[in-house]
Structure 1
Amino acid sequence: MEKSEIEMGSTSKGKAPLLAAAVHHNRPAGGYKRGAAVFDLILRVCAVAAAMVATIIMATTEQTLPFFTQFFQFQASYDDLPTFTFFVIAMAVVTGYLILSVPFSIVCIARPGVIGARLLLVTCDTLAVTLATAAGGASAAIVYLAHNGNSDANWLAICQQFNDFCQRVSGAVVASFVAVVLLIFLVVISAFALRKKH
C-alpha cells in the first residue's frame, strides 16, 4: 500500500509541474500579443490623425499680399513649390494606407496568433515611414530656407512677408514628423510581436 501511494504521488508530482508550466507558458503569450495589438490600433489611429492634419494643412495653405491695386498682388501657395506638392501627395498616400490598415490591426486584436496580417503591417509600415520621412525632411529644408534664406545663394527669406503661409507649412511639417514617430513605434511593436514566441 505504501508503495502504491508513493507511485501515485510521484506520478501526480510529475504531471502537475508540466501542466502548470504549459498554462503559464500559453497565457502570457496571447495576452502579450493582444495587448500589443491594442496599443498598435491606438497608435495607428493617432498616426492617421497626424498624417491627415499634415495633408490638409499643407493642401489648403496659400496667402495673398494685397498692394495698392488688385492688379499687383503676390500670392504664395503650396503648389508653387514642387517639394510641397510632393509632400501633399506623399502624406495623402500615407494617410490612405493608415486608414486601410486599421481593419488588419483589428484582426490582430481578435486573433493575436495570426502572423500574416502582422507581417503585412510591419512591411507596409516600414514603407510608410520611408515615404513620410522623405516628404517631411524635404519640406523641412524648404521651410528653413523660407524662414532664414541663404545669402550665399541669394535666396531671400519670405516669411517676413508671408507670415501666415510659413506658419501653416511649418505646422504641416511638424505634424508629418509626429506621424513618422508614431509609424516608427508601430514598426517596433510589430517587430516585438513577431519576435515573441508562442
Structure 2
Amino acid sequence: MKGAAAAIELGESKIGSTPRSGVNRGAAILDFILRIIAFLGTLVSAIAMGTTRERLPFFTQFLQFRAEYNDLPTFTFFVVANSIVCAYLMFSLALSIFHIIRSNAKNSRIILIFFDTGMLALLTAGASAATAIVYLAHKGNAKANWFPICQQFNSFCERISGSLIGSFVAIVIFVLLILMSAAALSRR
C-alpha cells in the first residue's frame, strides 16, 4: 500500500509511466505534424519552381523571349535541394512515428538531430541563393547593368517569389524540430 501511495505522490500512474513520458509523446506528435507541414512546404516549393516558365511574343510568333527556372543554375539548385529535403522528410516520418510509439528512444533522436541539421543547411543554402536571384529579378542592379525582368515576366516572377515561401516555412520548422529533439534528449 505504501508503494502505491508513493507512486501517486510522485505523479506516476499504476502502469508506471511518468508525466514526462506524456510530454515526450506530445512532443513526438508535434514533431510528426511539423514534419508533414515541412514535407508539404518543400514539395510545393520544388513543384512551383520546377514548373515555372513564361514566354513573351516579340513582334512575331517566331521571335519570342522566354524565362524558365532552369535558365539559372541557382533555381535548379533550389529545386534539387527542396526535392532532397522533401524525400528526407518523407523517410523521417517513420522515425517520427517510432518516437510516438516509444517516446523514450534516444539513439534515433540523435540520428534525427544530425540529419535534420544537414537538411537545414542544404535547404537554407538553396533558399538563400534563390532569394538573391529573385531579388535581382525584381529590383535589378544598375551598377552591374542587370535590369529587372519582372516588369516583362510578371507570371514568372510571381511563381518564383511564391515558391520561396514554402522553403522558408520549412527552414523555421527544421529549427523548431532540432530544438525540440535537443530538449527531449536533455530531459533524460
Q: SS at 1:75's partner residue?
A: strand
What amino acid sits opposite 2:120 in the alignment? V
Which consecutive unaligned segments of at least 5 residues does structure 1 have?
A: 1-11
Q: Percent identity?
A: 48
Matches of 1:102 and 1:28 in 2, distance apart? 25
- Note the C-alpha offset of 1:16: 4.6
> RMSD value over aligned CA atoms?
1.9
Which of 65, 71, 78 does residue 56 from structure 2 map onto? 65
Tell me which structure has the larger Cα radius of gyration.
1
Structure-2 change in CA distance of 1:167 and 1:13 (3 Å): same
Q: Which residue of structure 2 aligns with residue 6 of structure 1?
A: none
Distance in 1 between residues matched to 2:53 and 2:168, nearest whole Å? 21
Q: After TM superposition, which residue ranges in structure 1, 4 or more long, deviate above 6 angstroms?
A: 12-15
Write out per-residue CA displacement over residues 117-150 of structure 1, whole angstroms, 9 at most, x where no aligned residue: 1111111111111111110111101000000000
**Which of 147, 151, 161 is the equivalent residue of 1:160?**
151
Report how far residue 68 of structure 1 moved: 2.3
- Structure 1 residues 93-102 or 121-130, which shifts more? 121-130
Aligned match for 1:193, one of 173, 184, 187: 184
Q: Distance in 2 between matches of 1:140 and 1:101?
A: 27
Q: Tell me if the contact between 2:42 and 2:170 (Cα under 8 Å) persists in the aligned partners.
A: yes
Any idea what SS the aligned residue of 2:60 has?
Answer: coil
SS in 2 for 1:159: coil
Count of residues paired in the alignment:
186
Structure 1 counterpart of 2:171: 180
Of residues 18, 28, 36 in structure 1, which corresponds to 2:27?
A: 36
Could you say what secondary structure the match of 2:142 adopts?
coil
1:48-197 correspondence runs (5 A): 48-197=39-188
